[in-house]
Structure 1
Amino acid sequence: MHPLKGVWNILATPFQPDGEIDERSLNRLLESVIAAGVDGITVLGVAGEAQKLNQAERRRVLELTAAASNGRAPMCCGVSQDGTRVAVEMAQEAAAAGAVAVMVAPPTFLQPGPALTAHLRNIGEEAGLTVVLQDFPPVNGVTLTPAQLAQLADAVPAIQTIKLEGLPTPQRVAETLALTGDAVTVLGGLSGNFLFDELRRGAAGTMNGFAFAEVLVRIWQAWRAGDVDSAAATYFHYLPLLATEAQPGISIAVRKHLLQLRGLIDHSFVRRPGPELHEGVKRDLADTVRRLGALDAFPVPDLQEART
């Protein structure tokens, strides 16, 4: 088990207009993310609409991701569930598919205590993988203080990485690392909206599904090389797009529309119930992308076609 660092892209799940999984688009998206130079791929997260997939669909998405990423990018798999037994089974399936880590958020409204510690410990021990503890209060209603995050990491050896998405993330990164030292790495999220400040406070990268993964890779690589000015310049140039995609309630819809604009998926359909973008908002997104020169800066390379 090893801590995660760098840029980990949370994969969107493309759907056809009838709501079925679009495997051709999924493979095209996978190829583009790998070509972007990410440090890893996270599949079946909230941003991948995992909660809207049945068991067979989850397994199929995991299978396709494993086939595409094998040997080229390590894979992390979201296994957040309210039941320990279900989460353990999903984590074991992820391990069998070749995942190196699982991302786990606390079960809904399960506050810090012996039950949460046991839940996380069981997942880590049964799967034998790195556990990425996801702190994401808006989704599960559980707020973990830096002290509680540090206590969980100390009590559960499998927790090697903490993904912080409770605001204010830069300050919480600093406070958490002050308690954990180098025992864990801390990654940001939230579409990379606060990435530069998270890096300045000690974050080891980010795990999110921003539609232009190349932007995050460029920021991270410049930062890692000690070129703070280049990292800052890239971040501040694309901040309007990062902020637009991070809007609560419509983030997934914005991301999918951007991925469609790039030609990486055929349809921007979000499974029901889900947000639908106003046509004017779609036009505004295209205009923002144009003004930033994002399509010219990051053209989509020739990609291997879908392997179904």
Structure 2
Amino acid sequence: MLEHAKGLYVVAQTPFAADGAIDLASVDTLCDFYLQHGASGLTVLGVAGEAGKLSQDESVAVAGRYIQRAQGKPVIVGVSNPGIAQLRDLTARVMDLGAAGVMITPPNGLRTEEELFGYFAAVFQQIGDVPTVLQDFPFSSGTWMSVSSILALVERHPQIRLLKEEDLPSITKITRLREGQGRRIAILTGNNGMFLPLEMGRGVDGPMSGFSHPEMLSGVYELYVQGKVEQANDLFDRYLPLLSYENQSQWGVAVRKEILRQRGAISCAAMRSPGPRLTPTDHAEIEFLLNRLRRSLSELR
């Protein structure tokens, strides 16, 4: 199924209470929010979902709650871990709960193609025939995968059904991947959706991104596949200042969670420690950008 994925697979946040406890009630409201704004599926426990701050049991609880609430939409669970035993155990637990598949990025420290191939061979020997998203995000993982290496992994491991492409420049890499592919898999794009209209033109199947306004990501996708390329770009441009502001690593996640709180999707904007805290100046800038966005959108009516 994942090889046929299309549309917005939104990168979901992990809601926390002010004391750092997981807020499962806000998982419910946030999941509903994503689905109401055009998500075709969910990707949970990614980098933006603060997965590295959760215990194994907490990861299972969050993933399970999203799966339960997703109204049958596919939920992909990030399980990346340099320890293959931990990756295997989390994979087994979330697949038992009904996950559509898992997302894996290679660990930091792989320096050669031989090491890369050896790592994934060991992973798939352990997890078996689990539908897998291969995440190409070297600026987070520290491991760069060439186009030829990615294509070789796809051919060697039929478990790989989808590629999340967020190397830079993404557009040229997407073109080379599509030109060189044998077995076709889906390609979704990350990087906060910063280059989405251009990436759609290069052959991606949709965004796998987080944004405080997911209706923009789903809206751009829908317009583009309908052939309304100019309208898709016009919609994207209206959100671009806010999108760029959110595209600032973990600090941008703090911004996103605050906007989601203001929109009623979550109860608290807290990030689990260690994490940034927004200042009064940050809040003023957020309000400035939101006001500009509201005025811009009102011109469409």
Q: What TM-score does the superposition give when structure 2 sets the normalisation length? A: 0.92
Q: How does 1:15-54 map to 2 (within 5 A)?
A: 15-54=16-55
Amino acid at match of 1:52: K
TM-aligned CA deviation for residue 128 of structure 1: 2.6
Partner of 2:105: 105
Partner of 1:213: 214
Partner of 1:87: 87
Residue deviations 1:86-110 (CA, integer Å, cap 9, x gap) = 2122112221111112111001222
Structure-1 separation of matches of 2:199 and 2:110: 27
TM-aligned CA deviation for residue 234 of structure 1: 0.8
Residue 91 of structure 1 contacts residue 127 of structure 1 at CA under 8 Å; is this kept in 2?
no
Residue deviations 1:198-255 (CA, integer Å, cap 9, x gap) = 1111111111111111111111111111211221111111111111111234121111
Structure-2 separation of matches of 1:296 and 1:24: 31
TM-aligned CA deviation for residue 66 of structure 1: 1.2
Amino acid at match of 1:51: G
Unaligned runs of 5+ in 2: none
Partner of 1:77: 77
3-state secondary structure, aligned to 1:39: strand
TM-aligned CA deviation for residue 111 of structure 1: 3.4
Residue 132 of structure 1 contacts residue 160 of structure 1 at CA under 8 Å; is this kept in 2?
yes
3-state secondary structure, aligned to 1:48: coil
Partner of 1:257: 258
| Identity among equivalent pairs (%) | 32
Structure-2 separation of matches of 1:285 and 1:65: 28
TM-aligned CA deviation for residue 120 of structure 1: 2.8
Q: How many residues align?
A: 296
Against the structure 1 CA distance between its residues 112 and 164, is the aligned structure 2 distance closer, same or farther, given a 3 Å change threshold? Answer: farther
TM-aligned CA deviation for residue 117 of structure 1: 2.6
Residue 113 of structure 2 contacts residue 149 of structure 2 at CA under 8 Å; is this kept in 1?
no
Q: How does 1:1-308 map to 2 (within 5 A)?
A: 1-3=1-3, 4-71=5-72, 73-124=73-124, 126-180=127-181, 183-293=184-294
Against the structure 1 CA distance between its residues 156 and 194, is the aligned structure 2 distance closer, same or farther, given a 3 Å change threshold? Answer: same
Structure-2 separation of matches of 1:109 and 1:294: 47
Residue deviations 1:41-87 (CA, integer Å, cap 9, x gap) = 1111111101101122111101211110142x111010100012221
Against the structure 1 CA distance between its residues 261 and 105, is the aligned structure 2 distance closer, same or farther, given a 3 Å change threshold? Answer: same
Unaligned runs of 5+ in 1: 298-308
User: Alignment RMSD, CA only?
Assistant: 1.9
Structure-2 separation of matches of 1:294 and 1:169: 31
Structure-2 separation of matches of 1:294 and 1:22: 33
Q: Which moved more, 1:108-117 or 1:25-34?
A: 108-117
Against the structure 1 CA distance between its residues 236 and 185, is the aligned structure 2 distance closer, same or farther, given a 3 Å change threshold? Answer: same
TM-aligned CA deviation for residue 115 of structure 1: 4.1
Residue 79 of structure 2 contacts residue 87 of structure 2 at CA under 8 Å; is this kept in 1?
yes
3-state secondary structure, aligned to 1:132: strand
Amino acid at match of 1:18: D
Against the structure 1 CA distance between its residues 269 and 223, is the aligned structure 2 distance closer, same or farther, given a 3 Å change threshold? Answer: same
